[in-house]
Structure 1
Amino acid sequence: MGICLYAPSLALSTVTKLSTWVSMVIMGSICTFYITVGGVKAVVYTDVMQTLLMFIGLIVVIVVCCLDLGGFSNVWAAADEGGRLEFFKLVISFVVMLYVLWLLCFFAGLVAYATYQDCDPITSNRVQKPDQILPYLVMEKLTRLPGMPGVFVAAVYGGVLSSLSSCGNSIACLIWEDFLKDRPYFKKLTDKAATNVVKLISALAGISGIFLGILAGKMGNIIHVTRSVSGSIMGPMQGVFIAGTTMPWVNAKGAVVGFLVSFSYNITVVLGKFIRGGGKPPRLPLSVDGCPENLVNATFASYLTSTSIPNTLVENTSFVETLFDTGGQVDSMQLTTPDPAQTSTGNTVYDISYTLFGASGILITMVVSSIVSLCTKPLAPGEVDERLLSSSSVKIYRLLWQFFKGSKISLPNNQQESEVSLKMISDCSDNKPHPPPNETHLE
């Protein structure tokens, strides 16, 4: 929730004079209010409207910028020349791909690159973070169209508020259903009182999201933070699910220990990456040659090197010294390029790419849960309902069990007892004499 709250607040602070934390407090308070008072119905209605705004904002930005750049072909050619198009590249991701929305977001990024291919806003210190490039593009290119910056901000807010409201409402319902509903005190509550408890939990979730959003702003690029945190949490969870469906021998102890070990490892690596850095993707080449400052400097430098300047002017002024070093190159007025982002060196565990946290979490969970289950007491074939397992995994496990145990596998005791009891009931019903049709039994 904190990451969802931080993204639109950063966009709003870019297009307005509000600070990031003020916009986070305002938006978090509004979202907390309507998920607390309105409940699920308010969340559903706002999700529909916010989704429409999200698509409209992205489409408007793409269309207007493409027209300014001369069409779709020019945008595509600029992205291809800059090495921004990679089709045949494997990306291990566990993010649900909403293809239409993701394609719009990706193409908005291509439009931003084509617009600033010769004058990078980050290198020229116009913005401080990559997350601010698209809002900066909107403010620079779309301000001539009345209302367009507002449409873009509404689109960003709509895309994130829908997730934030759904998350807050789901957290409240989850805590109530799984942890509070069956407690002795909460069992006695009326429906109205239970509803008030759920609303209180929703409010607390929204307040905690505000504080987590302020913390997320200090952690770096929002894409890196989102993928790192979600991968470190969802990887172990998916590992437990996969182990439960494909490994019939995994017991409850193994699943719990595997999840805890994998989750602890991922969280340690994520926190270490945020503290010491590492594992960032290499930054692709960027240019500031087309920035207005550099064009003026280059023209002025060309004029100075090709025109004779009177000695009195050189003796009486020092502006030439501020422009040129001893080698005669433009120095102090030219924009400097910051150091490249720290790339992965592969020397420590903290240099693992943030895109691999999900895969590592699944692998560690499956391996540890298998080892712990085999060391304690693995489940025998048939102890778990085979309808919940992969059929091929069950067949392989039965063969392995026969090989190592050296005996034929039989049905578990509870299943045998149920079959015997059903057979006895059937026999009794067949052998029981039927009473005469008109005979009355008094008891």
Structure 2
Amino acid sequence: MDQPEHTTMIAPTFSWYDYLIFSGMLTVSVIIGIYFGCFGSKQSTANEYLMGSKKMHVFPIAMSLVASHISGVTLLGVPADVYKFGAAYWLCVFALIIVSFVTIFVYLPVLYQAQITSVYEYLEKRFDQKTRVFSSFLFAVSQILFLPVVIYIPALAFAAATGINLHLVTPVICAVCIFYTTIGGLKAVVWTDTLQFTVTLGAVTTVLVLGIKATGGFSNVWQKAVDGKRLDFFDFEFDVTRSDNFWAAFIGLTFLWISQTNTSQSCVQKLLSVPTLKDAKFATIYYGIGMILVKTASVLIGLVIYARYSICDPFETHKIIRKDQLLPFYVLDVAGKVPGLSGLFIAGVFSAGLSTLSAHLNCLSGTIYEDFVSKLIPKDITERTKSNILKLIVVICGAICTLLVFLFERLGGILPLVISFQGLTGGPLLGMFTLGILSRRANSKGAFYGGIFGITGLACLVIPAKYLQSQGMMHIPAKPISTDGCNFNFTKIYSNQTIENDGLLKLFKISYYYYTLLGFFFTMIFGLIVSYCTKEDERTLHENLLSPVIQRKGVRNENNYNTVENALNLVTYNSDKL
């Protein structure tokens, strides 16, 4: 099939069909929030607002988990990353299988039995309050850094498709999300996530099918990907500075998502909102399957885009200047004349962003309330007052994240940036939880100072690396590109001179995929050393605070009153023995 000509930047092509589809999705999301916030129980208690009264069903919880993790970072960032660096990211499907097994058999049984509102409450039960507060602080920081990126990417796509100023788009869309999250609580988040995931799936599927057809079929896409070295993901060379080989994607993403699934409030909160542990395990399985499908589709879209522009790169020809503009540019190029399709795509991208934003705002409010605000207010306040405080926290956090969006406009490389942010806090958090769940000897001093060492050591690596990259002194080597098929002249722009393996700089070139693993390793090693050099905690270590894989069989925890049901069962058990 002949390569299509690309001589000018595609103009915005949003029609009234597109606006209708886009506004319809936002309207339904608001209606869902109003329904759960103004009818029925009206989310009047903290338990219902944060946990859905533990009566949520498995399927919507699983879909909400997938939707909240499929943000614009996935829909826009992954295809652009595949286009420039190859399809090594697809190895995440193997990582997700391991993540599901580890979650179900190691972490989830402990967290579910603890019956906690904030996942960081576990660290207080296992260690002490100081460790819990530190972990909650790390989570809050990670969310404040992550959510502006989540907002910015779909706003960028909408601005590109409609021509509306980005600064006008962002506040309006964020206000809609903050509104339904504030009044509707977890139930509104879960059901809007389910709706938005459906829209997102429709957009991804449509773009993928249309793209394959436009590039001459799947066999043509595959052959161009092979010729362009985009499928060299089974490269087993062990080089920690590379991000496009097997070890970086497989090992790095495994640790990243184990951390995100088991130590992030946004994920654990939903898994604990179903009635039984069995339901939570099924939700984890469905979540893993959904993630595999969406990640695979995103990688395929990246390959389809490469097949179309393999001989006339839009970056080199200055049609786009940011990686994250690649997919909107492609959709407008291929499907701009199909009524409604651009609207469906932008609605899908925004749906992904809104679902992530709403889920993280809801859990961020729960963490801030449980671990900070509740310590400063009277204990005898009413449940309605607690619910109102939670809603106020959502509004404040949402406003802060909206303002921070404008600080992220000038940042490039969204996928590496997000993985770096998540690894910076996720690695130490995973280390602290693992010390508690898989080590009997770990004590509160070891967990706390291990976490401090983990975040400090990793920050000393990540911050200089990002600075050197921002100054053009280091870069991530990209796959080969071509402009041989372009039929017009253009001026090539060369980047600043880069410094390659020059002494200490090689340390800062470690791939961002390994950041979570390094933070985990630093925390575990230092935490165990401190634990063995200090005396054990005085409090009794209950078996239910340890993973089933290391629990001692036949050992019974006396006075285990984690829930009213456990207390009643224990009383009944002791009465039967008399």
Question: TM-score of the superposition, structure 2-length normalised?
Answer: 0.58
Answer whether contact 1:124 1:337 (CA < 8 A) is retained. Answer: no
Aligned counterpart, 1:21:
167
Say if 2:404 is the partner of 1:203: no
Q: What corresponds to 1:10 in structure 2?
A: 156
For 2:293 and 2:500, the matched residues in 1 are separated by: 32
Q: Which moved more, 1:221-230 or 1:11-20?
A: 11-20
Q: Which has the higher contact order (CA 8 A, sep 6+)?
A: 2
Offset of 1:286 from its aligned partner?
Answer: 0.7
Secondary structure at the counterpart of residue 442 of structure 2? coil
Cα RMSD over matched residues?
Answer: 2.8
Distance 1:213 1:80, change over 3 A: same
Shift in Å, 1:335: 3.6
Deviations 1:383-420 (A, max 9, x none): 5334544688789xxxxxxxxxxxxxxx9xx99xxxxx
Q: Deviation per CA, 1:351-374, whole angstroms, max 9, x where unpaired?
A: 221111101001000111112222
Match of 1:372?
A: 530
Which segment is superposed worse, 202-211 or 20-29? 20-29
Flag the 1:341–1:225 CA change in 2: closer, same or farther, 3 A. Answer: farther
Pairs within 5 Å for 1:306-325:
none
Q: Structure 1 residues 343 and 212, CA, compared in 2 at 3 Å: closer, same or farther?
A: farther
Q: Distance in 2 between matches of 1:387 and 1:196?
A: 33
Distance 1:33 1:359, change over 3 A: same
Offset, 1:101: 0.5
Letter of the 2:542 counterpart: D
Judge conservation of contact 2:436–2:546 (CA < 8 Å) in 1: yes
Q: Distance in 1 between matches of 2:349 and 2:322?
A: 17
Counterpart Cα distance in 1 of 2:340 and 2:441: 61
Amino acid at match of 1:375: C
Q: Please give the alpha-carbon distance, in whole angstroms, between the structure 1 residues aligned to 2:483 and 2:425.
A: 39
SS of the residue 1:187 aligns to: coil
Tell me what 1:254 maps to.
446
Q: Distance in 1 between matches of 2:381 and 2:438?
A: 42
Q: Quickly say closer, same or farther: Cα 1:109–1:18, change in 2 above 3 A.
A: same
State the alpha-carbon separation in 1 of the partners of residues 460 and 167 from structure 2. Answer: 27
**Structure-2 separation of matches of 1:195 and 1:232:** 31
Matches within 5 A, 1:387-398: 388-389=545-546
Instruction: Determine if contact 1:279/1:345 at 8 Å carries over to the other structure.
Output: no
1:346-385 alignment, distance < 5 Å:
347-348=504-505, 349-378=507-536, 384-385=541-542
1:283 corresponds, among 478, 482, 494, to: 478
The answer for the alignment partner of 1:83 in structure 2 is 229
The 2-side partners of 1:21 and 1:268 are apart by 34
Deviates more, 1:204-213 or 1:145-154: 204-213
Q: Aligned pair in 2 of structure 1 residues 190, 378: CA closer, same or farther (>3 Å)?
A: closer
2:415 pairs with 214, 220, 223, which one?
223
1:40-439 mapped onto 2 (5 Å cutoff): 40-88=186-234, 89-90=246-247, 91=249, 92-93=252-253, 94-96=255-257, 98-181=291-374, 183=376, 185-277=377-469, 280-293=475-488, 333-336=489-492, 338-339=494-495, 345=501, 347-348=504-505, 349-378=507-536, 384-386=541-543, 388-389=545-546
Cα deviation digits, residues 243-276 of structure 1 (max 9, x gap): 2233322210111011011112323433322322
Distance 1:284 1:87, change over 3 A: closer
Classify 1:343/1:286 alpha carbon distance in 2 versus 1 (closer, same or farther; 3 Å): farther
Cα distance between partner residues in 2 of 1:76 and 1:290: 19
State the shift of 1:214 in Å. Answer: 2.3
Q: 1:30 aligns with which of 172, 176, 183?
A: 176
In structure 1, list runs of 5 or more residues that go unmatched.
Answer: 294-332, 396-410, 416-425, 431-443
Q: Aligned with 1:288: secondary structure?
A: coil
Q: Structure 2: 5+ residue runs without aligned partners?
A: 1-146, 235-245, 258-287, 560-573
Q: Is the 8 A contact 2:431 2:523 kept in 1?
A: yes
How many Å apart are 1:343 and its aligned residue? 8.1
Rounded to whole Å, the distance in 1 between the matches of 2:357 and 2:499 is: 32
Counterparts of 1:148 and 1:292, CA distance in 2: 29
CA displacement at 1:212 relative to structure 2: 2.7
Q: 1:268 to 1:215 in 2, by over 3 A?
A: farther
Q: Which moves more between the two structures, 113-122 or 338-347? A: 338-347
Inter-CA distance 53–355: structure 2 relative to 1 (3 Å threshold): same
Letter in 2 for 1:141: V
Task: Indicate the structure (1 or 2) with the bigger Cα radius of gyration.
Answer: 1
Counterpart contact for 1:283–1:340, Cα < 8 Å: no
State how far apart, in whole Å, the 2-side matches of 1:351 and 1:269 are. 9
Bigger shift: residues 121-130 or 37-46: 37-46
Deviation at 1:68, TM superposition (A): 1.2
- Whole-angstrom CA distance in 2 between matches of 1:367 and 1:353: 21
TM-score if structure 1 supplies the norm length?
Answer: 0.74
Contact kept in structure 1, 2:256 and 2:427, CA below 8 Å: no
How far the C-alpha of 1:202 sits from its partner, in A, is 0.6
Q: CA–CA distance in 1 between the matches of 2:337 and 2:149? A: 31
What secondary structure, in the 3-state scheme, does the structure 1 residue paired with 2:318 have? coil
Cα gap change, 1:105 to 1:340, in 2 (>3 Å): farther
Cα deviation for residue 45 of structure 1 reads 2.2
Q: What secondary structure, in the 3-state scheme, does the structure 1 residue paired with 2:311 have? A: coil
1:294-349 per-position Cα deviation (integer Å, ceiling 9, x unaligned):
xxxxxxxxxxxxxxxxxxxxxxxxxxxxxxxxxxxxxxx44415349958637334
Letter of the aligned partner of 2:482 in structure 1?
Answer: S
- Checking the alignment, whether the CA contact within 8 Å between 2:323 and 2:412 is kept in structure 1 is no
Q: Match of 1:121, SS?
A: coil
Deviation at 1:208, TM superposition (A): 1.3
8 Å CA contact 1:2, 1:209 repeated in 2 = yes
